[in-house]
Structure 1
Amino acid sequence: MGSRGPGRALACCLLLAVACGPVLGHLPPDQRHPQEPEGTQEPPLDHTERAEEEHEKYSPRQDEEPPASRCYRCCDPGAPAYTAVPVPQINITILKGEKGDRGLRGLQGKYGKTGAAGVRGHVGPKGQKGSVGAPGDRCKTYYAAFSVGRKKPLHSNHYYQTVIFDTEFVNLYGHFNMFTGRFYCYVPGIYFFSLNVHTWNQKETYLHVMRNEQEVVILYAQVSDRSIMQSQSLMLELREQDEVWVRLFKGERENAIFSDEFDTYITFSGYLVKHAAEP
């Protein structure tokens, strides 16, 4: 083993020299290019030229790629700069035509929201006194009044009786009808009425002041040994065509009012206090 070692090492070196000759650029004489004579052999390339040759060898599609996607080395000259072509400008003022006709009016828009109320302004100065106006129409005054009496006594029977009056003291415009014993309202408003009677000894006195067919107030006196004057008064708000009158109650009990031909013991009066149209 010790004597064969140097021999084997020498054989390996020779084999490596033969195998690596083409790689290191030293070809045997029989493998060189036939067109290159030995006397005209080009000198070996340095590392820069060899790198450029290999770059051209392994990048055959570089010319086909667009300039923006090519690979460049830092030592290569830069790409030529492109100058932008100026865009032509047109003066619009020389192309402006004449003013056109006015268009049709558009539709009215929607109402906007109501804004908040503004702050109240200051009180302005007092204005000048105006001139005297023309005289107004004369104020129209309304009147209605009556006062009537009865000089005959009246006794009850089996039905209600209207008290008819035979004496007329005041009957303004004839609103009280002496034949029916009723006051007819022609001027609506508030009225005052009063009724006065004289009772009969040992008899009951029982009457009602009526509005239309409704009982409003009563005038009543119990049976007594003495006759007395009895009265009733009230205010009513009447509408036009209302009727006010006095009714004697029917004869369930003996009922009567006293009077005679020499004196008037029974009276019925009324007058307008306020017209309905007045404020």
Structure 2
Amino acid sequence: MAAPALLLLVLVLPTDAWHGLGLPRHPCVHCCRPAWPPATAPGPYTRVSGGDPWEGLPRVRPTIDISILKGEKGQAGLRGRPGRSGKEGPPGAWGLRGRKGQKGQAGPPGAPCQRASAAFSVGRREGLQRADGLQAVPFDTELVNLDGAFDLAAGRFRCAVPGVYFLSLSVHTWNHKETYLHIMRDQQATAVLYAQPSERSLMQAQSLLLPLAAGDTVWVRMFQRDRDNAIYGEPGDLYITFSGHLVQPAAEL
């Protein structure tokens, strides 16, 4: 504490006041460099001369506390314009898989599926013989006829729903007579049902899958060759049947 007090006296007292304290005058010494040459500069407690009154006093270098001179914090300046966006970096590594979330609530029921349908099944109870030419087989019994698409008198089914159809024809042969029939699509024969003349009458059947477009007609034709062509029937029983139904509409193919 003695060194700072002495320094304060040196700085505050005028030159003439030193005589009142009984101290001799001493030349001024720069604080930034020693008063002696560097080669012979004495230490803090080095003896300068035998009659020097400053002998034994420590050398004191004044320091300034910068924090005392620090002013108040200024106001923040205006915010500058945002800089340009940098280049996109490489994708990072996959993170850990999170926990399974809770089950959500069931949604409202959807609209019912409306599937297209088409089907027919018809029969003939009376037998039919043909001596010459071609003839469409008419039917007299309606088993299934959705939307009235099958014309019994003309013996034709007209397609209203395009798609793939399953068709089947079943007949009973006539003794000693040939049975020769075609399943027709418009004017094209697609399948044949045939039985040679025999002493015994037999049940014969033919079936196929057939694609139909809207407006196509399906029917059964008797084909006459060099022999009588006939199919057997009785009023009380149903020996002759022709059926078909839609397997898959064209919109789902």
Same fold? TM cut 0.5: yes
Detail structure 1 runs of 4+ shifted over 6 Å in the superposition: 118-124
**Whose helix proportion is higher, 1 or 2?**
1
CA apart distance, 1:137 = 1.9
What is the rounded CA distance, in whole Å, between the counterparts of 2:130 and 2:150 in structure 1?
24
User: Are 1:236 and 2:207 matched, yes or no?
Assistant: no
What is the aligned counterpart of 1:227 among 189, 192, 201? 201
Q: Name the structure 1 match of 2:151.
A: 177
SS at match of 1:202: coil
2 CA distance for matches of 1:146 and 1:124? 58
2:238 aligned partner: 264
**1:46-95 CA deviation, whole Å, 9 max, x = no partner?**
xxxxxxxxxxxxxxxxxxxxxxxxxxxxxxxxxxxxxxxxxxxxxxxxxx
1:199 to 165, 168, 173: 173
Shift of 1:159: 1.8
- TM-score, normalised to structure 2's length? 0.58
2:112 to 108, 123, 138: 138
Who is 2:249 aligned against? 275
Structure 1: stretches of 5+ with no match in the other structure: 1-117
Count of residue pairs the alignment pairs up: 163
Larger strand proportion of the pair: 2
Determine which structure has more spread, i.e. the larger CA radius of gyration. 1
Letter in 2 for 1:276: A
Provide the rounded CA distance (Å) in 2 between the counterparts of 1:123 and 1:178: 71
Amino acid at match of 1:249: F
2:147 counterpart SS class: helix
Alignment pair present for 1:155 and 2:129: yes
Q: Percent identity?
A: 55
Counterpart residue identity of residue 133, structure 2: Y
Please give the alpha-carbon distance, in whole angstroms, between the structure 1 residues aligned to 2:240 and 2:92.
Answer: 70
Say what the alpha-carbon RMSD is for the aligned residues.
2.4
Distance in 2 (alpha carbons) for counterparts of 1:220 and 1:123: 72
Shift of 1:172: 1.5
